[in-house]
Amino acid sequence: MLEANTYDGPSETTPLLIAHGLFGSARNWGVVAKRLSEDRTVRAVDMRNHGESPWFDAHRYPQMADDLAKVIPEQADVLGHSMGGKAAMVLALAHQEKVRKLIVADIAPVAYSHTQTPLIDAMRDLDLDQVETRGDADRQLQAHIDDAGVRAFLLQSLDVKARRWRLNLDVLADEMDSIIGFPHVSGTFDGPTLFLSGANSDYVQPAHRATIRQLFPMARFAKIPGAGHWLHAEKPREFEAAVSAFLNA
């Protein structure tokens, strides 16, 4: 069973399940989840091979969708970002009865070519024996990763005290083709679906809309101005407002 952080809200409202992206964790979503819990109970999970959840040899979307289904007692609204968005889409297609409304944050049900293996290589190359503080780790990562924001994001998954990553780096590397891909799925999810993207991101293209509407006939599209792929971190208030408006409609 996946580990989850729960933020209690009004029990008469459908609960919301949040699935994070690659290298993320439930903890990344704490501020957003807490604000959204004003209207409903929110559960943010650690996906398999991430955070405090169990490690497995497989990291593919059908298994991730089954993981999510197991933490939904009856029915939930589901929000997934990037990798978590793909898992949420497969959940909605394979377990339609579990999902009332679906929000897919900045990802489409297609295969991408942007491998994240270089980031895994950078994390593997970190000499954990030389890490006493997060700053020590950051200085080592600078040799491989120029972007301070990316380094800070990755380091949220480093347990400095235990000198270990809370990421199953070997399996994530082995399964990278599956992570950036999308499985062959049949059927449709006929519930309300919002594809919410960052206006500065190129992850959801106009060319993807035919595929999206084939799988999600009730899909709607919205963009958050000034946001990129990490729209929930870059424009949290606007993101929360868009999510709440859709769920409360």
Q: Provide the annotated active-site residues.
A: 82, 170, 229
Ramachandran category for residue 38: left, alpha or beta (phi over 0 → left; psi -120 to 50 → alpha)? alpha
How far apart CA 122 and CA 140 sit, in angstroms, is: 9
Nearest-Å Rg of the Cα atoms of the chain is 18
Please name the amino acid found at residue 59. Answer: H
Dihedral of CA 195/115/84/166: which sign? negative
* Under 8 Å between Cβ of 89 and 68: no
Q: Give the CB-side neighbour count of residue 5, counting CA atoms within 13 A.
A: 18
Would you say 96 and 76 are in contact if contact means Cβ atoms under 8 Å apart? no
State whether residue 99 is helix, strand or coil.
strand
Contacts of 136 (CB under 8 A, 6+ apart): 130
The neighbour count for residue 35, using CB atoms within 10 Å, is: 18
Q: Please give the Cα distance from 163 to 46 (Å, whole number).
A: 20
